[in-house]
Amino acid sequence: MSPEINRIDQLRKELHRHNYNYYVKNAPEISDRDFDMLMKELEELEMRHPEHFDPNSPTRRVGSDLSDGFSQAAHIYPMLSLANTYSIDEVDAWVKRVDESLMGQETCIVGEMKFDGSGISLIYEHGRLVRAVTRGDGEKGDIVTENIRTIRSIPLELQGSGWPDFFEIRGEIVLPWAEFDRLNAEREALGEPLFANPRNAASGTLKLLNPSEVAHRGLDAYLYYLLGEDLPFDNHYDNMMAARSWGFKVSEAMTQLKTIEDVDRYINHWDTARKELPVATDGLVFKVNSLRQQLNLGFTAKSPRWAVAYKFAAERALTRLRFVSFDVGRMGIITPVANLEPVLLSGTVVKRASLHNDDIVRTLDIHEGDMLYVEKGGEIIPKITGVDTAARLPEARPVEFVSHCPACGTPLVRVEGEAAWVCPNKEGCVPQIVGRIEHFVGRRMMNIDGIGEETAAALFAHGYVKNIADLYDLEAGQLMNIEGFAAKSARRVIDGIGASKAVPFERVVFALSIPYVGETTAKKVARAAKSIERLMDMSVAELEAIEDVGPRIARTINDFFADGQNRDIVARLKAAGVQMAVAEDTGAAPSSDTLAGKSFVISGVFALHSRDEYKALIERNGGKNVGSISKKTDYILAGENMGPAKLEKAKALGIPIIDENTFLAMIGAQ
């Protein structure tokens, strides 16, 4: 074999292992940058050796664009559902039934989470993933192998030993809460319909025809059922532990329970503890551990007798609709909001719930004064899931969507093919202007603390900040005229505005509130254009040539920069020192979230980079620069000649002082 082919095999093995360490074990051994470099090397070698193609190569995780429709495959064993129970008593009754059926044999029950995603069946042959099929109708499902390959926690090649030559493993494809929130925020910014919950988002994503789009969605997978003729053990638990050793993600919550008391304790524990999990769960599943006993117990037509689901109580309340109000977003999108008689729901009082858009109001057929079901399935924002039509007052009229902007009175327009109504008065509608200021200062944009909705509205009302560029002329004295600000808090905001000048260009583009340009698109557009001057000059055709930019986005970007007011704002931002070009070393130091939530004070003189470069590195890796040391500071990045007063204060507050080498190691740049 040629040395290059050898290297390909070696790189594939190594990258499979790093994927596993990162996505299954949460314990990466190498930096993201080193990982990217190995991946790049493999991509180049594979390009030179197409004859050594492997559909399971780690490079295939990014998804190819070649997929049209799905073929279907029959399941080898039908994919059944589980009988549901809703109380500890019902679960206990099931355990007793099992014991009786097994006529007093010793039993062990395995307790596990019921993941709320989309069921999947994975087929492995000789240690390699060969096919992935959705649940479908239980008998047959869609073949979604290409999409599944993009999920990094699913092993394409197994590790360890002892797997059968042919087996099936089933589990749930889930979209973690963090990814769900990110996806919906992006869709909201783009005026696209929101996913109601992570389950819909996960199953919708699995059915996307473009695997490279799937690769961006952050899906994850938990496996919970091994099937095959020659499994290594005669019980479910040991088989799942073996599967874990082959590289599958098996939940840490999976436990063997010996007695009915253990089962009850497990339920009581997870009833609340599940709220801390990173993914949505809608209950627990209990399974008889012994495969021989499972065989004895058998199946009903719909579900196994050897397993049962316990569903968490849906956190739902019934309350009266007082009225529907209409919020105006920064892009002018009008969102209907149900204002409710206050009602207690899983520990918080709910007064408002989003109705998302006109289509949802119509689908639910909400009438004035209706009794509405409000649910909080773990999502942060409560949602209206239904109407008690029996309680409807006879004279109640259906809720009408407004025809004019509730803030500025402009007639609303509906963009063809979309559910949203929009106020077109971009420059004169107060909530839109204030919303753009609020967006600009947000954590993922310019990361300026201390300016929330109220402050942004007050700054506008006082005439201090009429657009985002005005922020850079703001003075501490002006802030102190606003209720709630004192000298110190005003100073902090001004320092934050100063530090935001180091925020990289990619985030500046996102912060501008260009319609339809979300975080990912902003990054791509910024990197392709490299500077604001170039971006402003790009034609629709040139914009369309950028990855992920379709005709609609290209047109809106072009329109945005054709507007004299926007050009003026950009010029003022640039004059204020805001980054208007990609940093030279972007390629060498990729951005990350490594420093998310951490604040840094930079002090002294450095040998390896300038202070501004360090500021940019902190921002680019999700951290925050602050001007002065306080209890909330996480690190002091200290060079030579750090001021003695600062040193004293840092020591007194016990804040770690790190040098530039330590810092660079933290972000994996060394």
The 468-487 site mask, x for binding ligand IVH (CB under 6 A), equals --------------------
Which of 231, 285, 364, 573 is close enough to bind ligand IVH by CB under 6 A? Answer: 285
Residues 213-272 that bind ligand IVH (CB under 6 A): 224-225
Residue identified by tokens 């106020």 is 423
Closer of 28 and 304 to ligand IVH (Cβ): 304
Q: Which amino acid, one-letter code, is at 216? A: H
Q: How far, in Å, are 78, 98, 106, 256, 262 from residue 102 at the CA level? A: 25, 6, 8, 18, 19
The DSSP code for 304 is: B
Stretch that binds ligand IVH, among 107-115, 177-185, 446-454, 574-582 (CB under 6 A): 107-115
Helix pair angle (430-441, 453-461), 10° resolution: 130
Nearest to 510 by CA among 501, 518, 502: 518
| φ/ψ (deg, to 5) at 239 | -60, -40
Stretch that binds ligand IVH, among 80-88, 472-480, 604-612, 628-636 (CB under 6 A): 80-88
Q: Evaluate whether 184 touches 226 at the Cβ level (below 8 Å).
A: no
Least distance in Å: CB of 119 to ligand IVH?
3
The answer to whether residue 304 forms part of the interface with ligand IVH (CB under 6 A) is yes
The answer to whether residue 114 forms part of the interface with ligand IVH (CB under 6 A) is yes
Is 114 among the catalytic positions? yes
Closer of 307 and 355 to ligand IVH (Cβ): 307
Closer of 83 and 476 to ligand IVH (Cβ): 83
Closer of 224 and 663 to ligand IVH (Cβ): 224
The answer to whether residue 111 forms part of the interface with ligand IVH (CB under 6 A) is no
Residues 130-189 that bind ligand IVH (CB under 6 A): 135, 172
Query: What's the rounded Cα separation, in Å, for the pair 430 and 481?
Result: 20
- Set 114, 249, 523, 624: catalytic member: 114
Which of 82, 174, 536, 602 is close enough to bind ligand IVH by CB under 6 A? Answer: 82
The answer to whether residue 8 forms part of the interface with ligand IVH (CB under 6 A) is no
The answer to whether residue 80 forms part of the interface with ligand IVH (CB under 6 A) is yes
Which residues fall within 8 angstroms of residue 170, CB to CB, at 6 or more apart? 79, 119, 120, 121, 122, 223, 224, 225, 226, 227
Bridging pattern class, strands 635-638 and 599-603: parallel
Closer of 294 and 521 to ligand IVH (Cβ): 294
The answer to whether residue 310 forms part of the interface with ligand IVH (CB under 6 A) is no
Query: What's the rounded Cα separation, in Å, for the pair 451 and 439?
Result: 10
Closer of 285 and 458 to ligand IVH (Cβ): 285
Query: What's the rounded Cα separation, in Å, for the pair 250 and 24?
Result: 9
How many residues sit in the footprint of ligand IVH (CB under 6 A)? 16
Distance of CA 361 to the CA centre of its chain: 26
Closer of 176 and 496 to ligand IVH (Cβ): 176
Stretch that binds ligand IVH, among 114-122, 181-189, 508-516, 553-561 (CB under 6 A): 114-122
Query: What's the rounded Cα separation, in Å, for the pair 645 and 9?
Result: 56
Query: What's the rounded Cα separation, in Å, for the pair 466 and 460?
Result: 5
Catalytic residue set:
114
Q: Which residues bind ligand IVH (CB under 6 A)?
A: 80-82, 112-115, 119, 135, 172, 224-225, 285, 304, 307, 309
